[in-house]
Amino acid sequence: LSTWSAVPAGPPDPILGITEAFKADKDARKINLGVGAYRDENGKPYVLNAVKKAEEFLTAAKNDKEYLPITGLADFTKNAAKLAYGAESKPLNENAIAITQSISGTGALRIGGAFLARHYPHSKIIYLPVPSWGNHTPIFKDSGLEVRGYRYFDKKTVGLDFNGLKEDLQNAPEGAIVLLHACAHNPTGVDPTQAQWAQISDIVKEKKLFPFFDMAYQGFASGSTTRDAFAVRHFVQEGHQIALSQSFAKNMGLYGERVGAFSLTTTNAEEKARVESQLKIIVRPMYSNPPLHGARIANTILSRPELYQEWEGEVLTMAERIISMREKLYDSLTKEHSTPGEWGHIKSQIGMFSFTGLKAEHCKALAEKAHVYMTMDGRISMAGLNGNNIEYFAQSVDAAVR
């Protein structure tokens, strides 16, 4: 008998499983709208010019491959913090941001979860929006936190359930942790307005909740990294201490390089040093120290003005292509096909994803009859659409819902 004979087969990952089905499909019209990775207008993965230039620069520099410190490349984390918090940020300028490089956004959330489980003095309960990115629940459970939900999405309006959100945060136990998607909420594409963020900040303050921001799409929502950092910067300005997870997977297209950062705002340099020493104690037994190459790429872009400028332009181009796909899809469904249903949310939603409102049976029909793959909750990655496939997609959606 094998040692592992009693290990049950786990379910396939709901998102990465879609890619498997897509790969196995031989139909030329097939479309993968499952995974959240940017595709160019030809449906191909896109390596940013700023990244290519940074890599050329790094090749020429002939760097060695020594280990990074436990908290990663110091210049990178300094520049990542500046990107998120803004050059004018008070904790940044007071050297009061404890930060560590991480294995992309997932790793940042995991370090954050572990740190809060070990050191956050008030509660071990974390509230996630319903719905949230599918990996949030296992990340925080595995970190040792108790996961609960707050209302976020209103199926009726296909928009934000702001009253439900406020009520649930107001009724949360004092001191609980609340996870907030900084921008481009995944999977819904629905973000609070700036005025709503201000109200959320007030409730978080009043109830002494602890805000943990997940910022996986800075720049991807609006095309501006500054605009997309509004919520994070507003909370910091309002005097909140925050936790922040950053990912450079989407905004620099560095998916597989695994570039990210986790940070906490503290009150002064001495406290920051204490907190950072504990971040090191969490990271060291997990993976010792982070990978080098991606952090070097991101840091080269963030620290060289000409590359930074080119990168900002490319972020805008990616965001604008996605926005133009929203408009085309909306027009095609409503004007060309007169598809039954209300589709305004396709245009008003933000970021990589759209929560289409398609039901599981429609999604299933789309996969089986039209070779169009998406998650069964009706989420589509807008970046998977392009001038060549959008008409076929609209037609297929129309056929599926009739």
Catalytic residues: 133, 214, 250
Q: How far is the CB of 182 from ligand PMP (least distance, A)?
A: 9
Nearest approach, Cβ of 231 to ligand PMP (angstroms)? Answer: 13
DSSP 334: I
What backbone phi and psi angles, to 5 degrees, belong to 141? -65, -45
Q: What are phi and psi of 113, to 5 degrees?
A: -60, -45
Largest CA distance in the chain: 63
Q: Which of 46, 8, 38, 49 is nearest to 313 (CA)?
A: 49
Interface with ligand PMP: number of residues (CB under 6 A): 12
Please identify, using beta-carbon distances, which residue of 36 and 91 lies nearer to ligand PMP: 36
Binding ligand PMP by CB under 6 A: which of 22, 85, 115, 133? 133
| Residue 98: alpha-carbon gap to chain centroid | 21
Rounded Cα distance between 126 and 131, Å, is: 14
Of 247, 245, 217, 224, nearest in space to 381 by CA: 217
Nearer to ligand PMP, 311 or 353 (CB): 353
Kindly tell me which residue out of 34, 91, 105, 129 binds ligand PMP, with binding defined by CB under 6 A.
Answer: 105
Q: Which of 77, 186, 225, 375 binds ligand PMP (CB under 6 A)?
A: 186
Both tokens of 349, joined, read 């939603």
What angle, rounded to 10 degrees, do the helices at 305-331 and 390-401 form? 40
Return the range that interacts with ligand PMP (CB under 6 A); candidates 64-72, 92-100, 102-110, 303-311.
102-110
Which of 176, 204, 216, 367 binds ligand PMP (CB under 6 A)? It is 216
Please tell me whether residue 104 binds ligand PMP under the rule CB under 6 A.
yes
Intra-chain end-to-end CA distance of the chain, in Å? 53
**Closest separation between CB of residue 7 and ligand PMP, Å?**
26
Binding mask 240-259 for ligand PMP (x = CB under 6 A): -------x-x----------
Q: Read off the DSSP letter of residue 209.
A: -
Binding site for ligand PMP (CB under 6 A): 36, 104-106, 133, 181, 186, 214, 216, 247, 249, 260
